[in-house]
Amino acid sequence: MSTTAAKTNETVKSRMSTRDIVLIGMFAALLAAFSQISLPMPTGVPITIQAFGVALVGVVLGWKRALFSTIVYILLGAVGLPVFANFQGGLRVITGLTGGYILAWPVMAALCGASIPVKSASAPVSLFFSIVLSVTGMLVMEAAGGLQWALLAGDKSFGMIMAYSFTAFIPKDTALTIAAVIAGRQIRRTLVRGGFI
């Protein structure tokens, strides 16, 4: 095979397939569904299971497709579709108290998917390593969310918000993230065997 033909073949392979686009859209919709499961709190930041959804997307899809899936979700919400928690939409959500958490989702999803082999036939990475990367992504999300919350609230410092998060959010989100990694790896194996990924 000539060098030009080889380069063309690599370019075609690097492009997203129709399957990739369908998976990205499906999992963006799944994130929208997970986002509606929330418990409003007096602080203005609801308790949700969104960390589970983001981690699941990352582990099932792998870092690249998960990154695009969360970005698609954010863009859909930004243009006004009611995909954010409590059927909200629009830029006001992203620029509001909870916006930092949402904006950090692509980073969390990518970290959750970073331990997943690019080639579906590749040997799986250890569960422990996958959990460490995923929990790191969750902590990045918590920090980004807490920072924006502190900047907008004005009456609370970042330290105060993180102290509150370690009580109200982080233990729950850590457990949800670990559960998503375990479930996601099994779902991915099933999808790979079925030829869907």
| Distance of alpha carbon 34 from alpha carbon 183, whole angstroms | 15
pLDDT digits (tens, 9 = 90+) for 91-141: 999 999 889 999 999 999 999 999 877 666 555 578 999 999 999 999 999
| Per-domain residue ranges of the chain | 15-193
Q: How many CA atoms lie within 13 A of 166 on its CB side?
A: 5
Banded pLDDT at 48 (limits 50, 70, 90) = confident
Banded pLDDT at 15 (limits 50, 70, 90) = confident
pLDDT of the residue at 38: 75
pLDDT of the residue at 167: 85
149 Cβ contact list (under 8 Å, min separation 6): 45, 97, 98, 100, 156, 161
CATH of domain 15-193: 1.10.1760.20
Percent of the chain surpassing pLDDT 90? 64
